[in-house]
Amino acid sequence: MSRPALRYGVIGLGFMGQVHVRAVQAAAAAGWPCVLAAVADPCADRRTGRAKAMGNLETPANEERLFDPGMVKAYASGEDLITSGDVDLVSICTRTDTHVDMALAALRADINVLVEKPVALESSAIRTLIAAREASRAIIMPAMCMRFWPGWDWLIEQIEAGRWGAPLSGTFRRLSPSPTWSKEFYGDLAKSGGALFDLHIHDVDFITAAFGVPSAVRTTGHPLHVTGCYDYDGHPDHVTAEGAWDMPEGFPFRMEYTVVMESAVAEYRSHREAPLLVRRKGATDWEEIPLPERSGYEAEVAAFVRAVHAETRPPVTLEDALTTTEILEAESRDLER
């Protein structure tokens, strides 16, 4: 007898919350055992399914409702959704300074949690969540979408398989103007963490997933434009990541990497028609790597649903988030010197 679909809730219907709603709907349409059952947001208009929000990635532009309010229960607060008994798992897409308290409430209710990044701005808060997870029957997974992004998940697979030999170097860039949405929050670096914690975090997490934890970190810049250098005892010999929020208004968001391996170089450019190219050692031209037409958010939500349904360890853990946050804290100390 098949198990019923997992009832999914999304807390917070700003830009990222809307992304998660669409990702849940895409996962359900792809056959994963989940259904969007409830949402929560203090804005009454958003609770009607007419939510629209800005962000640095393209989202569908249409006049259709984000969800059918006749089929999806809506709550004014995340706490009310959590205590409603209407959901088995939730995405927490509220502001960073609310993540830990909201996740703790869900874990105490044994509700599975996908919590947006950054989980917290302090590693001590993540340790608190780890302790709460151990006392709960629920799964909690940090939403580190780049591990699932087409072309980025491919790179991790190539490195793990050793297809092109050992990685020798990696350079990563993530550039954007400062967010023009929720300026009160993003402009307060004590709450948002600036580009270091909100943007650069993606590349730091990806670097640890692809290459392991660095033995040393050196960082230069300021909270709105940072470049980190990551040392390893063996390969790779050269790893850097640049993250910027200080591009001029109108500058299109972009994310990039160039990773050199023993027998090939892989290059990703998000703003290019063919984002991912590989050039083999000795070749005279680049080879395009075709990518699936999905976002990393869709694959991330599907992976979370799969872990909850199978009652297995999630592919990204709080320990991963702790490692990344400790690296970012070290980088922040460098920036303050």
User: CB-based burial of residue 157 (10 Å sphere; 0-12 exposed, 13-18 middle, 19+ buried)?
Assistant: exposed
Indicate whether 100 belongs to any domain: yes
**287: CATH:** 3.30.360.10
| Residue 1, pLDDT score | 40
Indicate whether 176 belongs to any domain: yes
| Residue 54, pLDDT score | 58
Cβ contact 219:331 at 8 Å: yes
Both 252 and 199 in one domain: the answer is yes
Cβ contact 272:257 at 8 Å: no
H/E stretch holding 157 reads helix 152-161
User: Considering Cα of 126, then 131, then 135, then 137, what sign does the dihedral take?
Assistant: positive
Cβ contact 93:17 at 8 Å: yes
| Residue 57, pLDDT score | 56
Sequential pLDDT tens for the chain (337 residues): 467 899 999 999 999 999 999 999 999 999 999 999 999 999 999 999 986 665 555 545 455 789 999 999 999 999 999 999 999 999 999 999 999 999 999 999 999 999 999 999 999 999 999 999 999 999 999 999 999 999 999 999 999 999 999 999 999 999 999 888 778 888 888 888 899 999 999 999 999 999 999 999 999 999 899 999 999 998 999 999 999 999 999 999 999 999 999 999 999 999 999 999 999 999 999 999 999 999 999 999 999 999 999 999 999 999 999 999 999 999 999 998 8
Indicate whether 281 belongs to any domain: yes
As a whole number of angstroms, the distance between CA 207 and CA 240 comes to 9
Both 183 and 286 in one domain: the answer is yes
Both 139 and 168 in one domain: the answer is no
Q: How would you list the strands of the sheet with 254-261, edge to edge?
A: 216-222, 225-231, 238-244, 167-175, 254-261, 264-269, 276-280, 287-288
Both 125 and 59 in one domain: the answer is yes
Which of 122, 144, 166 is the C-terminal boundary of a domain? 144
Cβ contact 211:170 at 8 Å: yes
β-pairing, 34-40 with 6-11? parallel
As a whole number of angstroms, the distance between CA 136 and CA 123 comes to 20
pTM of the model: 0.94
Both 205 and 118 in one domain: the answer is no
Indicate whether 316 belongs to any domain: no
Total count of domains within the chain: 2
Both 139 and 237 in one domain: the answer is no
Both 15 and 133 in one domain: the answer is yes
Both 38 and 19 in one domain: the answer is yes
The residue range of the domain holding 238 is 151-291
- From residue 109, give the alpha-carbon distance in Å to each of 76, 139, 142, 160: 18, 12, 18, 37
DSSP state string for 162-181: TTT-SEEEEEEEEE-PPPSS
